[in-house]
Chains A and B, each alone.
Chain A
Amino acid sequence: MPLTIVVCASVVPDPLQSLIPLQTADGFGLKNEMMLPHVLDPWAGHALYEAANLAKQIDGCKVYLVSLGLKAKLQQTMMTIAQKARFDLIAIDASHSGFTDSAQTAAVLATAIERIAGLDRANLLIFGGWESASRAAGTTLQILGEKLGIIDQFQAVDEIKMNGDGSFQVLERVDGGKHQISVCAGPPAVLGWATGNLPEPPNNPQLGMMNMRTAMPAIQQAGSADIKDKALAFHNVQAPAQRRDTRIVKDLSTADIAQEIVEWLKQN
């Protein structure tokens, strides 16, 4: 049975950027946020690559990318992402700041997904990153699943294998560097992806052009949503002082360095 895979992915500042918090009239944000280069949220990006890979294995599968973020940043990011995997974009113009509430975000995502024309709920897989690189909470997908009435959910997923009978096996990261193996009878299900096993696909300009034919209108027509939770207040947002007074040891022999390290490791 063909699957409908909906990947929920927002955009985040490039992980290599240093971030400076800033109090604005609308709450906390990031200094020069609109100037910072953005990328598709890394774990959600893995979810997209896994979705595209899965769709290739089953005839008739369809992949939607539901992306909530400010239009300008969505547009910039899609120029790259569109070259990586085939998808139909559903864009939502809303704040992608980390200083927002996941329940509000989940409600907006649920509404957007429910509006997909001809949505096959019985064969629906909701994908996303298990945590974002902004709020880093791992809460949105679960709430989204609840809103869509999906009670088979998996988080920190590294692998999905479809079985011939419509069921699938999932590997989830669990405490202690292990994986839990589960078998689910079939869709619908929610999968919050960790890194997975796939490398980032190479850029494919032809695929990018094909995607952008529909992605650009989707971004231009994106409806705006207010995800501000008035009962939530942030205070004292700061980049922690990290500077340590590092003792640089250049003139010790290898044996002396080893001795010092071992003594340090053995101290209580």
Chain B
Amino acid sequence: MEKILFLSHTEATGRLSAHALEALGAAVHLRERTGGELVIGLFGGRVETSQVSGTVFSVSGEAFAASRYATDAAAGEQLCKAAGATLVIAPATSRMSRVFSGIAARCGACVDSHVAGLQVKDEALVVTRWYYRQRLQAEMTRASRPWFISIDAGVFEQFKGPGNVIVEQISPAVDASMMRTSVTGIQAPAVGEQTIKPDATALFVAGAGWTKKQADGRSHVAEAADLILGFLKKSGASLGSTKSLVDLQGEGQEVLPFMTHLNQVGQTGATPRHQKGLAACCHGEEPHVVGWRFINERRAINLDANCGWARGKADVLYVADAFQVMEQVNKLLSE
């Protein structure tokens, strides 16, 4: 029988993020399938337990407020050792992803990240994850324990069953060597200019076609920027980009001013999860299209009816001029 630890940091409010609650949902799912025991380990500046139930091991305090490897690893290590779990389930947030396999190493555990599925077959835990940047999918089993598993966002339902808790406070030792790194701030676009929105329903994927010469023989980058930003503002969509579009910056070409490598989707970018995806002016074959592999409903606008990005990959391909279509879309969204 497996003993499962759900391990996560809390947010500044002391509460769990939506992603963390999804991973907790995965841990509960696993407990139900294995008939095992589930305990919870939380760390952060503040730890609230109103979203969970059962036994909670907690590490809190000023030293653990910052998202810093040394202190997060110390907290995670002590929580794992207190729980004595055979399986550790965590959300693959940026903070957990920085430290999770380091904690596994300290606990002599094996580790798998970005897990996209958990099943129990013939009493064995089978994990599904992607390899080669979303080009191959594999199921895997491990005979050794402890096994640390981090869960990608958008895979499991959020846990919604808070109840009674028994809290055990743990106080890892913190010394000066663990405080050599200071988190001094967060750099983010100004409010209203934030183009990456993980919680948005839709993803808009812009391709390099937006910066190319149009029918009049000239490029219209400023107009493209206005159309895209207008659409993001009116629709609430998140913005993704093909590699070719963000690479233009390094090649000295005129670029969309708000587009950075953070927007890049695909093999060397992100693979965000959204309900809907609308791609415009995107080109490329299979290896490039992994950027919207986890988009459920996909539509594309392109002048080329045989566009490899869309044909066989999208549900609908509109063969049309994206500048004209998006101008109309923005007008309709404004009404």
Contact = CB atoms under 8 A, between A and B. Distances in A.
Interface of A: 12-13, 15-19, 21, 28, 42-43, 98-99, 101-103, 106, 133-140, 142-143, 145-147, 151-156, 158, 169, 171-186, 194-195, 199-200, 229, 231-240, 242-250, 252, 254-255, 257-262, 264-265
B139 A265 contact: no
B263 interface: yes
B177 to A, nearest CB: 7
25 contacts: A15-B268, A16-B285, A42-B267, A133-B267, A142-B99, A153-B70, A153-B102, A154-B98, A181-B184, A186-B180, A194-B261, A195-B261, A231-B142, A231-B144, A232-B141, A237-B131, A242-B313, A246-B311, A246-B316, A247-B315, A247-B316, A252-B318, A255-B328, A258-B326, A258-B328
Contacts of A16: 285, 287
A43 B312 CA distance: 29
Contacts of A194: 261
Interface of B: 19, 67-70, 73, 93-95, 97-102, 104-106, 110-114, 126, 130-144, 177-178, 180-189, 194-198, 202, 235, 237, 250-251, 261-264, 267-268, 276, 278, 285-287, 289, 293, 297-299, 301, 305, 310-321, 324-326, 328-329, 331-333
A62 B226 CA distance: 46
Interface of B is mostly: mixed
Given A142-B105, A239-B135, A250 B113 contact: no
Nearest to A141: B101
B184 A244 contact: no
A176 B310 contact: no
B177 A173 contact: no
Contacts of A260: 318
B94 A175 contact: yes
B194 to A, nearest CB: 7
Contacts of A254: 320-321, 324-325, 328
B198 A176 contact: yes
A111 B134 CA distance: 31
Contact of B110 (A156, A181, A186, A232): A232
B313 A21 contact: no
A232 B202 CA distance: 37
B112 A154 contact: no
Contacts of B332: 258-259, 262
Q: Which 3 A-B pairs have the closest CB atoms?
A: A177-B196, A258-B328, A199-B250
A184 B97 contact: no
A146 B98 contact: no
Given A135-B131, A143-B105, A249-B318, A264 B136 contact: no
A195 B264 contact: yes
A157 to B, nearest CB: 10
A61 B48 CA distance: 47
Nearest to B271: A136
B185 A181 contact: yes
Contacts of B19: 175
Contact of B102 (A142, A158, A261): A142
A21 B110 contact: no
B286 A18 contact: yes
Given A13-B132, A142-B105, 14 more contacts: A15-B133, A98-B131, A134-B131, A138-B113, A139-B113, A156-B97, A174-B94, A177-B263, A178-B187, A244-B312, A244-B314, A252-B320, A261-B329, A262-B333
A175 B69 CA distance: 16
B262 A173 contact: yes
Contact of A174 (B67, B142, B189, B197): B67
A18 B287 CA distance: 7
B187 A151 contact: no
A263 to B, nearest CB: 9
Contacts of A236: 138-139
Contacts of A229: 110
A175 B152 CA distance: 12
B184 A182 contact: yes
A246 B309 CA distance: 11
Given A19-B135, A134-B131, A262-B332, A185 B106 contact: no
A89 to B, nearest CB: 23
A233 B141 CA distance: 5
Contact of B180 (A21, A133, A152, A261): A152
A258 B335 CA distance: 13
